[in-house]
Amino acid sequence: MAAATPGTAMTVFLMLSCITAAAAAAAALNLTTLSFDDGFSHLFGNENLIRSPDGRGARLTLDRSSGSGFISNDLYDHGFFSASIKLPSDYSAGVVVAFYTSNGDVFQKTHDELDFEFLGNIRGKDWRIQTNVYGNGSTSRGREERYFLPFDPTAEAHRYSILWTSDHIIFYIDDTPIREVVRSDAMGGDYPSKPMSIYATIWDGSTWATANGRYKVNYKYAPFVAELSDLVLRGCRVDPIQQVDSARRCAEANEDLLAADFAQMTPLKRAAMRRFRERYMTYSFCYDANRYPVTFPDCDIIPSEQSRFFESGETKYPRDRRRARRQSRRP
């Protein structure tokens, strides 16, 4: 048989790499999804929330009348929470889609929260994603980060996951960890520690979501529709009224959570997280000297990373969109 040319060999290598990556992804997920009614209830929006025909997901709509959202039936004392989400396309300035955990309805002044916030944009510009970590009402000490994505989140659904344990928090996009927060004495009460519900919402964030409110929601392009499926709730359920001895009762469930594959930060995962953050992170609270003149004690300041950011915490090097689009078309 004739020897393969370098170009052919590279093509074969890329194809095999993609097949291997896809198989690894399927094995790595290994998640048990549940039906919408088994895990969630309608929160707001009336007919703007529509369950999917198979009963395992929902469509959230924002129009002139209202946004919409749903909430988990239970609170959870730590857990892994995940959904595949397809974002609204076309002009989406001012639109906010959120997948998050919170206990603000129970602890109004000392609430905890972990967020994926998807911030819409004008036509031709990318959606941005923000992650937030708030503990014990620490919204004035917001631990926020923002990112672009290596794919078009409006073309097809991608999985977004939040792991919250007693030791650390990991945000995932598909199988790639993009952020890890390790509990430390330096964080004090800012580490989320009380049982939380899981939410998904779409709403009008015109006052701040796009260019600090410069671009508003234009309802000429409504309805704005977000599709959520492959819902995962894995953790220790806590009665929202009787939260007695939840820590003791949930100890075994938390141990199982810590032993799961998605809770293990292997060297390969850390390398993937580092690459993602180097390429796509556009803002970090750790480098925002304007908002926080005194750096957070739990920040791990990396000089080579710090040099990429202005004092505002914004990146000095906007992503090359053309190159990113070429990459997104690869298998």
Single-letter amino acid, residue 23: A
Q: Exposed/middle/buried for 36, CB within 10 Å: 0-12, 13-18, 19+?
A: buried
Q: Is 252 a catalytic residue?
A: no
Tokens encoding 218: 């234009």
Tokens encoding 183: 């509990």
Tokens encoding 162: 């939040």
Q: Please tell me whether residue 192 adopts helix, strand or coil conformation.
A: coil
Single-letter amino acid, residue 272: A
Q: Which of 47, 117, 252, 314 is catalytic?
A: 117
94 torsion bin: left (phi>0), alpha (psi -120 to 50), beta (else): left
Cα separation, 294 vs 272, in Å, equals: 30
Distances (CA, A) of 210 to 10, 125, 178, 264: 41, 11, 22, 35
Q: Please tell me whether residue 314 adopts helix, strand or coil conformation.
A: strand
Q: Which of 73, 66, 100, 72 is nearest to 85 (CA)?
A: 100
Cα separation, 126 vs 131, in Å, equals: 16
Distances (CA, A) of 241 to 40, 105, 120, 237: 17, 12, 36, 12
Q: Which of 47, 113, 144, 156 is catalytic?
A: 113
Q: Is 117 a catalytic residue?
A: yes
What are the catalytic residues? 113, 117
